[in-house]
């Protein structure tokens, strides 16, 4: 979760603040923060019970495909594929196995651990889920989604995803290292501690996340959030700019920098970053889609049609866009156009449950045709 924050002091030259100073904690705690005492959480550790579970499920299977099929079936039969989803609970593989609850990172940790125990080639994969825009100024909430890619020597690839119902779009995905995933785990623990008011614990885990993989933008941006909440805008700006250097289109960094400058009365600088946000929004199809959905749900049909048309122009293979276009056409009485949009959405949908949803719409329209 990355939100804009209010600052109280005028920043100095953020360029003079080094990464080492940002990570030391001296500005916040008047002493360097040592993370050497942080216990290894054992993110992918398994125990005898978990290893016995895997052995029982895969039996004598030899091929990777058969091992995967049996492991998934066993996880389904024992409830490990229908865990209680907890958005804020980030857990290790072992905790998730026994608690039967967690978020997408928790489940992914569990499956990576069990899959590798079964001898499968299992890697973490991030999903480039679009942000949700809530205000004209560009305030956003980011969903850092991660799932599992299982591959074989024949280049068969299977995606295993715990919270698939939330992420049915045709989003880009990228294989990432264990270090990246472990950094994400520590980042989430840090943000959980921050929401509970435990600043020092939050800082320690965020520092650990950055040291695990310093090339990821979002922990640096979160570090800026910590500094901004504690009235150190020069340090906040320096941290945000590290994140922005790593990812020039990082929406959270841009939004927070613009808000920082605006709060400090630096309107010109704020406007420069606001223009970058608007430029990003203009070329991002999901921004236009999210606005179109909002307009449609509020009966602003003409604007909804303009927005979804822009989204489709920017990305032609996203089934959600065509489904919304179908709903808009249906509301306008353009039944033939709506039917074609639903058919296109169905063709592009990758999940059976989504295809069934579109089939129902298609059947309804076909049944109503004279």
- Per-residue pLDDT of 196-227, as tens digits, reads 899 999 999 999 999 999 999 999 999 999 99
What's the rounded Cα separation, in Å, for the pair 370 and 360? Answer: 18
The mean pLDDT of 16-32, rounded to a whole number, is 95
Which of 252, 283, 314 terminates a domain? The answer is 283
Nearest CA-CA partner of 229 in 259, 207, 267: 259
Instruction: Report the SS3 class of residue 145.
Output: strand
Q: Which residue has the higher pLDDT, 135 or 242?
A: 242
Q: What is the mean pLDDT of the chain?
A: 85
Q: Are residues 202 and 316 in the same domain?
A: no
Q: Which of 265, 283, 301 is the C-terminal boundary of a domain?
A: 283
User: Other C-beta atoms within 10 Å of 311: how many?
Assistant: 26
Show the CA angle centred on residue 364, arms to residues 362 and 370, nearest 5°.
Answer: 105
**CA distance linking residue 172 with residue 149, whole number of Å:** 13
Residue 4 lies in a domain: no
Q: Are residues 222 and 169 in the same domain?
A: no
Distance CA 276, CA 313 (A): 21
Q: CA 68 to CA 231: how far, in whole Å? A: 51
Residue 351 has pLDDT above 70, yes or no: no
Q: Which of 283, 317, 349 is the last residue of a domain?
A: 283
pLDDT digits (tens, 9 = 90+) for 256-284: 999 999 999 999 999 999 999 899 889 98
Q: What pTM was computed for the model?
A: 0.80
Given a cut of 50, whether residue 363 has pLDDT beyond it is yes
Q: What is the radius of gyration, based on Cα positions, of the chain? A: 23
- Inform me whether the pLDDT recorded for 138 exceeds 70: no
- Are residues 156 and 75 located together in one domain of the fold? yes
> Lowest-pLDDT range, 179-183, 240-244, 285-289?
285-289
Give kind and range of the element (H or E) at residue 158. strand 157-160
User: CA–CA separation, 305 vs 39, rounded Å?
Assistant: 53
Do 315 and 275 fall within a single domain? no
Residues 68 and 146 in one domain: yes
Say if CB 6 and CB 258 are below 8 A apart.
Answer: no
Residue 146 β-bridge partners: 126
Q: What's the confidence (pLDDT) of residue 307?
A: 95
Q: Percent of the chain, pLDDT > 70?
A: 84
pLDDT given at position 159: 78
What integer is the mean pLDDT of 61-83? 87
Question: What residue numbers bound the domain in which 161 lies?
Answer: 48-176
CA distance 209 to 243: 13
84 and 118 inside one domain: yes
Q: What is the pLDDT, as a whole number, of residue 169?
A: 54
Pairing of the two strands 121-127 and 132-133: unpaired
pLDDT confidence of residue 109 = 95
Confidence (pLDDT) at 202: 95
Q: Residue 343 corresponds to which tokens in the numbers above?
A: 């058919």
Structurally, the chain folds into a number of domains equal to 3
């Amino acid at each position: 979760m990355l939100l804009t924050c209010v600052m109280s002091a005028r920043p100095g030259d953020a360029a003079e603040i080094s990464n080492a100073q940002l990570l030391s904690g001296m500005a916040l705690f008047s002493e360097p923060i040592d993370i050497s005492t942080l216990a290894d959480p054992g993110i992918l550790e398994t125990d005898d019970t978990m290893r016995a579970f895997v052995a029982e499920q895969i039996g004598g299977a030899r091929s990777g495909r058969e091992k995967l099929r049996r492991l998934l079936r066993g996880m389904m039969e024992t409830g490990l594929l229908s865990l209680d989803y907890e958005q804020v609970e980030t857990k290790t593989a072992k905790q998730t196995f026994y608690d039967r609850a967690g978020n997408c990172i928790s489940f992914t940790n569990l499956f990576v651990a069990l899959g590798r125990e079964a001898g499968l080639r299992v890697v973490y994969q991030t999903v480039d889920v679009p942000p949700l825009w809530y205000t004209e100024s560009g305030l956003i909430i980011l969903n850092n989604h991660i799932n599992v890619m299982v591959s074989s020597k024949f280049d068969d690839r299977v995606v295993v995803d715990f919270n698939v119902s939330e992420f049915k779009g045709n989003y880009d995905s990228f294989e990432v290292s264990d270090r990246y995933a472990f950094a994400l785990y520590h980042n989430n623990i840090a943000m959980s501690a921050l929401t509970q008011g435990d600043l020092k614990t939050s800082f320690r885990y965020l520092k650990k996340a950055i040291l695990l993989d310093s090339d990821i933008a979002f922990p640096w941006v979160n570090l800026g959030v910590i500094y901004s909440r504690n009235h150190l805008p020069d340090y906040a700006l320096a941290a945000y700019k590290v994140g922005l250097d790593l990812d020039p289109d990082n929406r959270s960094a841009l939004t927070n920098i613009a808000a920082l400058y605006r709060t400090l009365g630096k309107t010109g600088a704020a406007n420069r970053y606001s223009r970058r946000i608007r430029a990003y929004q203009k070329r991002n199809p999901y921004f236009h889609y999210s606005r179109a959905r909002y307009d449609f749900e509020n009966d602003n049909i003409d604007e909804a049609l303009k927005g979804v048309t822009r989204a489709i122009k920017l990305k032609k293979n996203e089934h959600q866009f065509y489904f919304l276009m179908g709903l808009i056409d249906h509301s306008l009485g353009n039944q033939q156009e709506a039917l074609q949009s639903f058919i296109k959405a169905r063709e592009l949908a990758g999940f059976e449950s989504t295809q069934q949803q579109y089939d129902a719409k298609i059947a309804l329209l076909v049944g109503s045709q004279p």
